[in-house]
Structure 1
Amino acid sequence: MPKNKTHSGAKDRFRVTGSGKIMRRRANKNHILEHKPSKRKRRLSDEVVLAPADTRKIKKLLG
């Protein structure tokens, strides 16, 4: 059976930690940042663990 290819979009958006968790970026940190408070921008800059409901699907896309 052939290998599965890694999904290019998923490869750029997610990363796998050493323990196998999937990390993702938070939304709303791309543009129109001028009117957002610094506190909110700092909070959005951290990566968070992907929700368990989505993990299986994303792991499949990552190969």
Structure 2
Amino acid sequence: MMIRVEYKDGSEQLVRPYQLKKLIASEQIVRFERSGGWATLGVDVLRNPGGLGDFSGVERRSP
């Protein structure tokens, strides 16, 4: 799967998911396209890099 990204200079490129993670971490891109449309860094909610968030609520799943 390839993901379309937009760099700070306005250019676009298709990248692989592992490349997207690196581009987000290094803040080289301003947004990337996902199934629901464009996600803008610093504006839209993004997944935690580790995949799991810091959930402070009550665990409701059955053991």
TM over 0.5: no
Greater strand percent: which structure?
Answer: 2
TM-score normalised according to structure 1 size: 0.19
- With normalisation by structure 2, the TM-score equals 0.19
Which structure carries more relative contact order (alpha carbon 8 Å, separation 6+)? 1
Higher helix content, 1 or 2: 1
